[in-house]
Structure 1
Amino acid sequence: MLARVSEDDPEGSAGSRKRWLAVKLGAALLGLGTLGFGLYAGMVMLPRATGYAAKIGCTAVFVSGLEPARVLKEELAAVGFVDVEFDHDTQTTRAAVVGLAEQRATHRRGVGCTLVRDGLPLELDLAPVAAPDDDRAWPAGDAPDTRDDPSGLDRAALDAALDAAIGEPDPAAPRRTRAVVVVYDGRLIAERYAEGFDASTPLPGWSMAKSVTNALIGLLVGRGELELDGPAPVPEWREDPDDPRAAITISQLLRMSSGLAFEERYGPFGTGSDMLFVHESCAELAVNQPLIASPGTRYAYSSGTANILARIVRSRFEDPGAQLRFAQRELFEPLGIRSAVLELDPSGVFIGSSFALMSARDWARLGQLYLYDGVWNGRQLLPAGWVEYTRAPAPAAPRGEYGALVQTNAGAPGQPEDRRLPSLPTDAFEMVGYEGQSVLIVPSRRAVIVRLGLTRGPAQWDTDRFGASVLASLPG
């Protein structure tokens, strides 16, 4: 049987049927694609968003003490589609998307906020460090320093630099600087706080937590419990005698030169978000990565390796609370740090890549310890030579930009002008965190400069420019 053909429809009804079938097939494929994406979003993307909202919201409200309305508008603006509830009676935050992918985070005294997982213990309480009973000035206490300014300080220029840091030149792209502290020659000489924040507010350091991990590893090395250049004690890498990962050292983990694959990517499509906001163990994702380079030969920034190190610290102690009491007793109490909160993953390990909070003054105390080569009040807290090792550029870092869980400023070998912060001295090194967190340490200028904030776009904050403006005001 022949199909009719006309000038208007040269293919006749057979052609029409083909087009109709093509449209139906396209619609079906589109529907399947939409369904597949919906399933992916529901199973993978939404838990990342709700985990972020629950954890970050809990910390902002119950640790930093911010108002929920402000947190929803500022901290959680990027996940505005997530429904978030704060329960002040139980100190719990709940997050879900139209009832789906619900996640909860609970606050405990001295421990901060932890995502809740069924069957994992939440009974943990850490008494705060006792406040000093004297009226000494920083760093021994927090009383005002009534001494005259250091000779040669340009107070007007310093005030202008700090006022500019706190100011908002473009309301459409807010900086949201929340705290700034400047220490010179062991004295706190200037500080500024945004509205709603003060000298006692614990604020997140994000990746500045890596510097706390560095200090904890250093303490354990100093006690002879870990060997810096020995194989990292990771059981999974020793199950197979032919596993090349067994050769990875603690030093290579500290210097981001382990050779392990890791995708340092966050947001709805990033596996880094799974590490922080979905998995029970933040270290597990990194531990199970394959080698993509020989250990020590390739630099690649990896928060995953910082969490491997944090799990190594945890393995030295009987229970989750013991690791925190160790940090409190051996690190924070000697420095007079009273606001520090080290937050744990659901498995009970400090999230050493990302979740430590302190007041700006206490972050400055930690920076001052590193400025003093690990010595505090005449006592060698960190092992002799530890700070020198920490701020020495990793051999695999091409621009001399990274040491041992801190960022450095040495520049490329033989090309010091090709450095990360070109306006600052080459001996500067920095604890750096997401959203513009910074503890800048400049030994040649005897300075520690702290900036904490919530800056979402990198163009809104320039550490190089700010640091240079502060240093220009200090005595030569």
Structure 2
Amino acid sequence: MKKRQALIKRLVIGLTGAAALYAVYYCSQALPVATGYGAKIMGSGIFISGRDQKDLAQKELDFWPLNLATFRVDYQDSSVTCSIAGMASSKAIFRKGLGVTLINGLSETEIRAQKINMVFPVVGNRDTIAWPMGDKIVNTYPDCVDSIAVGNAVARAFNAEESRAGTRDSSRVNLTRALVILYDGQVIAEKYATGYSASTRLTGWSMAKSVVGALMGILVKQKQIKIDEPAPVQQWKDPSDPRHHITIRHLLQQTTGLDFEEVYNKPSHANKMLFVEGDAAAFAAARSFNKAPGEDFRYSSGNTNILSGIMRKELGDSDYHIFPYAHLFYKLGMYNTVIEPDASGTFVGSSFCYATARDWARFGLLYLNNGKSNGEQLLPEDWVKQSVTPSTAAEQGEYGFQWWLNAGAKNNPKNRLYPELPVDMFYADGYEGQNIFVIPSKKLVVVRLGLTRTSHWGENELLKSVMAAIDTDKKQ
């Protein structure tokens, strides 16, 4: 009996010790991710979106362990420090024209000393310049649009906020903050939640991937890259390395075969890359290889940041930071957009882009118009077609060049992500309910920005209602 009790005691002590060690290990991995996330979201929310610290803490950062965090906002040096119980701390700094950058890998002094070329356009009164290059928007509607029905559909999208707000279960939050609908290039609906406006820049999260897809298209048009040759990545230059055979097309289509964990509820590769590492592109490129390129579709923020690193290598630092603005954003009238770099100076193209709802709509309009804006063909003439052609590895026909698709399975189009919506629909999809939907057959672009922690925010119902409100057979 005594031997048995002693054995049980040793077992309990052993299990307790193992649990304690695991807890220490988990905290050492998870807490730096949490504080990095907290500092970055708080920093961008305050210094880019112009939001209130308390509001951000109560909405974006209300979950464990960030509900235990301490935030120190320094308006003198434009920084945010997030710490949790003295066990982990992260700092993020704001720089004009660059947005917010986490201090990882380099010191704050080194990051602030970086010489980065930027371009700031001289823009007049945009309210006097016609949409889409400006913000002068006509108040009339095409005859084929039932404006009342569209307005009702928009109102329902915002009513979800009223029904879910205040719930004790933060995982059920569904807040629409901005909604813009274009028909045939014209704004036919626009609405903002209290505290937000047409000038509020909001995160797109993974909608940034579609922006990187466009930038790669521009590089192709300028003949600076070829997408079917081995990707020019330093870590893969050895021909004996199986990663040497990964092409830019594989990166665009998310079929690289790299072992990259894309989940957000633990210290995954994605979370470490975004919130702990100082060089996202290098971290992603260092991942091991587990499948042949082109064989398997696996969505990965790492692939997009590798593309961002390639763009920097091909352009050089003198042009790299100017490039998205001079060759894409300002050409579209996107003057309220910022894409943020990591500590190394490389844009975090997978996730860190802030823009107004109107600017996101302008970007969607570029793709509706087959890569043309203001009379200029910005993208190769076949780039949009390539972008919305499913990868053969995407079994549901769900992914192209950094855009999600609704094409459906090759031999069964009904097997698609949104069976009730058109097969030609494609969309940018960001964490917590950020979306740009483009439906060419209906001449529609729909932008929704918000905070949704459920699987869907009601996009299927909204899009169906908007399509029903447009009588395409009616003379315009």
Fold-level match, TM-score > 0.5? yes
What percentage of aligned pairs have identical amino acids?
39
SS at match of 2:386: helix
1:84 to 66, 71, 84: 71
Residue 35 of structure 1: how far off its partner (Å):
3.0
SS at match of 1:43: helix
Partner of 1:302: 300
Q: Is the 8 A contact 2:263 2:270 kept in 1?
A: yes
Structure 1's 137 and 166: CA in aligned 2 closer, same or farther, altered over 3 A? Answer: farther
> Structure 2 matches for 1:323-472, cutoff 5 A?
323-459=320-456, 461-472=457-468
Name the CA distance, whole Å, in 2 between partners of 1:383 and 1:310.
19
User: 2:47 aligned with 1:62, yes or no?
Assistant: yes
Residue 270 of structure 1: how far off its partner (Å):
2.3
Structure 1: gaps of 5 or more residues: 1-14
SS at match of 1:316: helix
Name the CA distance, whole Å, in 1 between partners of 2:455 and 2:137.
34
Name the CA distance, whole Å, in 1 between partners of 2:267 and 2:179.
33
One-letter identity of the residue aligned with 2:466: V
2:14 to 7, 13, 29: 29
Q: Is the 8 A contact 1:109 1:127 kept in 2?
A: no
Q: Is the 8 A contact 1:205 1:355 kept in 2?
A: yes
Name the CA distance, whole Å, in 2 between partners of 1:344 and 1:325.
12
Partner of 1:9: none
User: 2:156 aligned with 1:164, yes or no?
Assistant: yes
Structure with max Cα Rg: 1
TM-score (norm 2): 0.93
Partner of 1:7: none
Q: Is the 8 A contact 1:47 1:103 kept in 2?
A: yes
Alpha-carbon RMSD across the aligned residues, in angstroms, is 1.6
SS at match of 1:279: coil
Q: Which deviates the most, 273-282 or 132-141? A: 132-141
User: 2:112 aligned with 1:122, yes or no?
Assistant: yes
Name the CA distance, whole Å, in 2 between partners of 1:107 and 1:213.
22
User: 2:96 aligned with 1:109, yes or no?
Assistant: yes
Q: Is the 8 A contact 2:235 2:285 kept in 1?
A: yes
SS at match of 2:432: helix
Q: Which deviates the most, 81-90 or 389-398? A: 81-90
Structure 1's 228 and 318: CA in aligned 2 closer, same or farther, altered over 3 A? Answer: closer
One-letter identity of the residue aligned with 1:391: V
Residue 58 of structure 1: how far off its partner (Å):
0.6
Q: Which deviates the most, 283-292 or 115-124? A: 115-124
SS at match of 1:294: coil
Partner of 1:95: 82
One-letter identity of the residue aligned with 2:460: D
> Structure 2 matches for 1:111-150, cutoff 5 A?
111-117=98-104, 118-119=106-107, 120-123=110-113, 124=116, 126=118, 128-133=120-125, 135-146=128-139, 148-150=140-142
Name the CA distance, whole Å, in 2 between partners of 1:370 and 1:419.
21
TM-score (norm 1): 0.93
One-letter identity of the residue aligned with 1:170: R
One-letter identity of the residue aligned with 2:82: A
Residue 220 of structure 1: how far off its partner (Å):
0.9
2:250 to 235, 248, 252: 252
Partner of 2:60: 75
Name the CA distance, whole Å, in 2 between partners of 1:129 and 1:194.
29
User: 2:138 aligned with 1:153, yes or no?
Assistant: no
1:400-430 CA distance string (max 9 Å, x none): 0111100011111121111111121111100
